[in-house]
Amino acid sequence: MYGKAFAPEYQGDLGSALTVNSSYDEVLATAERARRDAGTDLDAARAALALAEANRRLGRAAEAGSAWRDSYRCARRAGDPAGMAWALWSGGTLARQCGSLPLARRLLSAAVAFADACGERLAHGYALAGLAETGRIQGDYAAVADLHEQLLHEARTHGESRHMVWAMSGIAQMHRNTGDHHKALELFTECVRIASEADDARGRAWSLRGMADVLSLRGETDRALALLSEAEAVCRELELAGALAYNHKMRGNVLFRAARYEQACTAYTCALRAFRGMNEARGTALARLGLAKARSRRGRAPAATLRELAELEREFERIGLRQAQQSVVTFRSELAAA
């Protein structure tokens, strides 16, 4: 069994005022007021944490960076290791979003240590999840598969629907990337069900995107596009800038697989603009790769495509995205064989 989704990053009075589905304009307004009126360092740390997370999810990296550091300093002055752990989790998540994976690992590892030392179970779980996700997006499945399963078990034990959806969708993504599309679709579908029943709109939107990806790989283009449109509506309603950008990129992937290259170019261009606007290095590189492939299929000169692939391969190596590097190698081979 599990309960309704909740957002542990909204703490103290903010936890009563905000929900997991609060718009980020509402979060910012409420947290800014709480930060201004904070009577203690603990209250200030909690308000700054909410500001950090709202700004991060809106793609405002500089503001998010200032806020999580403010939260950490306030928590340290308050002598609150749990608050320090949450701030470091937020900073590590932001670092991963910006493509600084070594920094993400350092901050998230420190968050785990602080949370473990003070017995803050939720912060410990979220920080471990951050480390697991960092390893997963790098393609290091052998190292993080067991950790995903462990976190899923803990989330089920405590009835934490939001974390269940996160862990299960991560496991689904690994199945998808290793070729087990049937299992991936089964898990993504379960994620959508749990998120819907738990009123976790954000988790539902991400899970619908995962379903669309797998259905597209199975040739079900129209159904995949319909699910992406459903997820897009949620992203727009909740102002999920990052999720919306990845939704656009996935739409490009679906259209590319269906040989609808002009429409794919439009979707990738939209995603690229959004990723660049939020300083999202990983998303920027992935959207560039999709756009390069679609333009190539529309007749772009091979030499220009090969130059861009070489740039992207270096960027993927810098970030540490092994699977994306392999995608570059595969497409280069396809060009050579054409």
Q: What is the pLDDT of residues 205-226, one digit of tens each?
A: 999 999 999 999 999 999 999 9
pLDDT score of 238: 86
| pLDDT for 168 beyond 60 | yes
Query: Where is the domain boundary, 182, 205, 239?
Result: 239
Over residues 159-178, the mean pLDDT reads 92
- CATH classification of the domain holding 233: 1.25.40.10
Residue 3 forms part of a structural domain: no
| pLDDT for 306 beyond 80 | yes
Residues 178 and 277 in one domain: no
Counting beta carbons within 10 angstroms of the beta carbon of residue 39, is it exposed (0 to 12), middle (13 to 18) or buried (19 or more)?
Answer: exposed
Residues 53 and 122 in one domain: yes
pLDDT score of 162: 87
Number of domains in the chain: 3
Query: Where is the domain boundary, 193, 213, 239?
Result: 239
Residues 152 and 118 in one domain: no
Contacts of 200 (CB under 8 A, 6+ apart): 5, 20, 21, 161, 162, 165, 194
Query: Where is the domain boundary, 239, 268, 294?
Result: 239
* Minimum mean pLDDT range among 72-76, 156-160, 328-332: 156-160
Over residues 259-263, the mean pLDDT reads 98
Residue 244 forms part of a structural domain: no
Give residue 2's pLDDT band: very low, low, confident or very high (50, 70, 90).
low
pLDDT score of 156: 92
Residue 2 forms part of a structural domain: no
- Tell me the one-letter amino acid at 33: R
Residues 101 and 85 in one domain: yes
CA 16-190-141 angle, 5° bins: 95
Over residues 154-166, the mean pLDDT reads 89
| 75-110 pLDDT per residue, tens | 999 999 999 999 999 999 999 999 899 999 999 999
Over residues 137-153, the mean pLDDT reads 89
Selection from 20, 90, 102 nearest residue 51 by Cα = 90
Residues 79 and 28 in one domain: yes
Residues 146 and 174 in one domain: yes
pLDDT score of 3: 64
Cα separation, 292 vs 332, in Å, equals 11
Residues 75 and 88 in one domain: yes
Residues 171 and 261 in one domain: no
pLDDT score of 1: 54
Residue 1 forms part of a structural domain: no
Residues 37 and 129 in one domain: yes
Q: What is the pTM of this model?
A: 0.90
Residue 206 forms part of a structural domain: yes
| 269-301 pLDDT per residue, tens | 999 999 999 989 999 999 999 999 999 999 999
The residue among 251 and 143 whose pLDDT is bigger is 251
Distance of CA 164 to the CA centre of its chain: 15
pLDDT score of 163: 87
Give residue 239's pLDDT band: very low, low, confident or very high (50, 70, 90).
confident
Residues 32 and 101 in one domain: yes
Residue 159 forms part of a structural domain: yes
Full residue range of the structural domain in which residue 205 is found: 139-239
Residues 44 and 110 in one domain: yes
Residue 69 forms part of a structural domain: yes
Residues 160 and 199 in one domain: yes
Mean pLDDT of the chain: 94
Residue 325 forms part of a structural domain: yes
